[in-house]
Structure 1
Amino acid sequence: MKAFVFPGQGAQFPGMGKDLYDNNPKAKALFDQADDILGFHLSKIMFEGSAEELKQTKVTQPAIFLHSVATALVSDDFNPDMVAGHSLGEFSALVANGTLNFEDGLRLVSQRAMAMQKACELQESTMAAVLALPDATVEEVCGSIDDVVVAANYNCPGQLVISGSVKGVEIACEKLKEAGAKRALVLPVGGAFHSPLMEPAREELAAAIESTVFGTPKCAVYQNVDAKGHTDINDIKTNLVAQLTAPVRWTQSVQSMIADGASTFVECGPGKVLQGLVKKIDGGVETTSL
């Protein structure tokens, strides 16, 4: 069985999508449509912009979404038995499996990006990568700190990202190094994604999701919040809203897909980050990209 997976923020690169745009009329139509929906030339920034320009919140998330969805929808080899996405990538996955149409998916991603940016501006916050510690140890250390800091991304065994206030993350990094972490490195991000500090964004996104029409999925989406496959529209909506303040359980999601029969993981979108993570989670499965 094939699982198609979609990357999240951080996968962007200058020039992304240019080949798709130039060589596939269907993809070109999606890029042009995205520019119209967003009201600015996202495609021009993707093709010609600098790495710094691509880091702008209003650009990054729609750019990765557009690249990922276009890659899947224009390919004759897109035939998923199941789908999943890392954080932002969950929206790409939901368009790819027919739960959301392209226009609504793009609008939600744009609203999500703006809501997250506003939440970041309310309190100075950050994230940090922690290497070579058991998940339970990281969770225990975070729970012992009298400030906001939580496990945010379970990327693969021995690679976990924490998220919270600047003070909380800094204290946690020191304690995690003392506990034996190979590295505990603060990341160059704008805020504490997938933490309680995203609550204002969660509330804003919840209203947008509730007013959006969701269709019947063609196959199950394995969602970040609980790492389980879902086809019920109400469950999908609930989990999509909860995702902003809950951790991304990527390790567990991949393990669930393998347990349910996935033997090949196909990455759709910029980069090969997810292929690398999948291999670290289970070296016995096949990985590739569209």
Structure 2
Amino acid sequence: MSKTAFLFPGQGVQKAGMGKDFYEHSAVAREIFDMASEVLQMDMKKLCFTENEKLNQTEYTQAALVTTCLAMARSAEAKGMKADVTAGLSLGEYCAIAISGGMYDREAVYAVRKRGILMEQAVPGGEGAMAAVLGLSADQVEHVLNEREDVFVANYNCPGQIVITGKKDAVLQAGEALISHGAKRVLPLKVSGPFHSPFLREAGNRLEETLREISWKELRIPYITNVTAAPVLETEKIQELLVRQVASPVRWQQSMERMIAEGVDTFIEIGPGNTLRGFLKKIDRNVKVCSVNTWEALEKSLEGPA
């Protein structure tokens, strides 16, 4: 039987103007943006729709992206789109949980605002770094990092793309070593800290205080957690996994492989850009995947993924 998954991107895909066309065309999207503005006491339309420096600052980026992705997803649902399972890359996992029924949209927005602030504060600016390693397998990257301190795997994105994270000098030196071991390129990422590394463990522990305030709900459909790449249906597991997720590697490739193994054959990426679509095509070229990143793309996708 055919199964459909909704996928939500993580930090890095944000851009000025995201979600504006949904706000203009969808009453549901307007409700989401207005709700987020009320909950966070900031103008989310200004943050997401206009050119501004805050959009690329972690403490604002996370709330902006989750608000936008939820507005897009709820608009898609209003048009009749339905998911059998969800997943989100890092930050996107909050959208996946909300769409799966595990938390209210307003609480997802509130939680990621707190998460962004804690992650921003976790390591002094300039001390941490991340980089994408292209052209090596996960085993090859892990082999190089195992010989080093203060640098770790942050993301298993897809075959040939692994993200590393850690202290700035350690990431730089590891990048040089990875090039010498055959990496095609090592690209520094524009981030403000060593996300998904043990250096963020304290931020995860502090996030737990916020997550205790959440009114967790019964999951209607499973979501795939970044931490283990396994489906989650037990509500009581969500909080612990979100705490661990902050300092754990994102097992995205493994998550997609698990979905495919369990019969998912149609993937709908919801959010700015089409990064996850690119990853999926490298994981399995045979799956159907489309990106709902504009109102026009939503209407086109209702005709069926390419």
Deviation, 1:78, is 2.7
Counterpart for residue 239 of structure 2: 237
Q: Is the 8 A contact 2:156 2:252 kept in 1?
A: yes
Give 3-state SS (helix, strand or coil) of 2:90's partner.
coil
Q: Does 1:264 align with 2:263?
A: no
Counterpart for residue 12 of structure 1: 14
AA partner of residue 93 (structure 1): A
Counterpart for residue 74 of structure 1: 75
Q: Is the 8 A contact 1:3 1:83 kept in 2?
A: yes
Aligned residues: 288
Q: Does 1:61 align with 2:62?
A: yes
Deviations 1:136-184 (A, max 9, x none): 1111111101x31001100000100000001210110111011110011
Inter-partner Cα distance in structure 2 for 1:122 and 1:196: 16
Q: Does 1:92 align with 2:116?
A: no
TM-score using structure 1 length: 0.96
Q: Does 1:118 align with 2:121?
A: yes
AA partner of residue 232 (structure 2): H
Deviation, 1:122, is 7.1
Deviations 1:199-223 (A, max 9, x none): 1211111121123121011111001
Deviation, 1:235, is 1.9
Which of the residues 131, 139, 142 maps onto 2:134?
A: 131
Inter-partner Cα distance in structure 2 for 1:49 and 1:123: 24
Inter-partner Cα distance in structure 2 for 1:217 and 1:78: 18
Which of the residues 189, 194, 201 maps onto 1:192?
A: 194
Q: Is the 8 A contact 1:85 1:93 kept in 2?
A: yes
Deviation, 1:233, is 1.3
Equivalences for 1:142-153 in 2 at 5 Å? 142-145=145-148, 147-153=149-155
Give 3-state SS (helix, strand or coil) of 1:241's partner.
helix
Inter-partner Cα distance in structure 2 for 1:189 and 1:123: 10
Counterpart for residue 157 of structure 1: 159
Inter-partner Cα distance in structure 2 for 1:288 and 1:122: 37
Q: Is the 8 A contact 2:32 2:70 kept in 1?
A: no
Inter-partner Cα distance in structure 1 for 2:129 and 2:101: 34
Which of the residues 80, 83, 86 maps onto 1:83?
A: 86
Which of the residues 201, 206, 216 maps onto 2:208?
A: 206
Give 3-state SS (helix, strand or coil) of 1:265's partner.
strand
Identical amino acids, percent of aligned pairs: 40
Deviations 1:100-151 (A, max 9, x none): 1011111100000000000032771100110111111111111101x31001
Deviation, 1:58, is 2.4
| Residue 215 to residue 85, structure 1, CA distance change in 2 (3 Å) | same
Deviation, 1:12, is 0.8
After TM superposition, which residue ranges in structure 1, 4 or more long, deviate above 4 angstroms?
none
Inter-partner Cα distance in structure 1 for 2:164 and 2:46: 34
Counterpart for residue 176 of structure 1: 178
Counterpart for residue 303 of structure 2: none
Deviation, 1:74, is 2.0
Deviation, 1:257, is 0.3
**Unmatched runs of 5 consecutive residues or more in structure 1:** none
Give 3-state SS (helix, strand or coil) of 1:150's partner.
strand
Deviation, 1:97, is 1.1
AA partner of residue 181 (structure 2): A
Q: Is the 8 A contact 2:126 2:192 kept in 1?
A: no
Deviations 1:207-251 (A, max 9, x none): 211231210111110010000111011222221110010000000
Q: Is the 8 A contact 1:6 1:92 kept in 2?
A: yes
Deviation, 1:17, is 1.0
| Residue 223 to residue 133, structure 1, CA distance change in 2 (3 Å) | same
Which of the residues 283, 294, 301 maps onto 1:281?
A: 283
Counterpart for residue 107 of structure 2: 104
TM-score using structure 2 length: 0.91
**Unmatched runs of 5 consecutive residues or more in structure 2:** 293-306
Q: Is the 8 A contact 1:42 1:59 kept in 2?
A: no
AA partner of residue 37 (structure 1): V
